Amino acid sequence: MRISSRAIIFKDNKVVLIYRKRDYQEYFVFPGGKVEDGETNEECVIRECKEELGIDIKPIKYIYEVKGPDFIQHFFLCEWISGVLGTGDKEEYDVNRQGGVQIPMLIDIESLKKLNIVSPEIIAELCIDINKFGLNLDDNVKTIIEK
């Protein structure tokens, strides 16, 4: 079973996503990745944001979970503490290592529904929750989506 942690980070009414171009496909993903042995979900999302984005974050709330037959994705609302977007580990941006382009970006929240984002179920829930609660979301927001 693959277990991963992903970050939802807002800054200046925008959300941090990673643009991917791979195998003739273009799409966006939330920053994050596989939880390593001995690592908590929170430690994973902190490490992945430093590696992929070059920023330090603080997980604030555990808000979404996506379960599939062979995976679980944990989504955290995170606060951007410091750092400059796009200054992550150079290996993360190496086209040969990743098998394609990987570019961290700030995306207007209004654009979310128009983009090809992996985990469209999360985008649907996130847009509903933003409309209801604003960017801080509510402490009661925790949705489990099963695929």
pLDDT of residue 137: 80
**Could you give the number of structural domains in the chain?**
1
- At residue 146, the pLDDT reads 76
- What gap in Å lies between CA 17 and CA 48, rounded to an integer? 13
- Hunting for tokens 């649907």 — which residue is that? 124
Strand 143-146 and strand 55-67: pairing?
A: parallel
Give the pLDDT means over successive 10-residue stretches in the chain (147 positions): 97 94 91 97 97 96 92 96 88 68 93 91 90 80 72
Q: Write out the two tokens for 59.
A: 């997980």
Look up the domain containing 7 and give its range.
2-146
Find the CATH number of the domain harbouring 31.
3.90.79.10
The 8-class DSSP code of residue 37 comes to: T
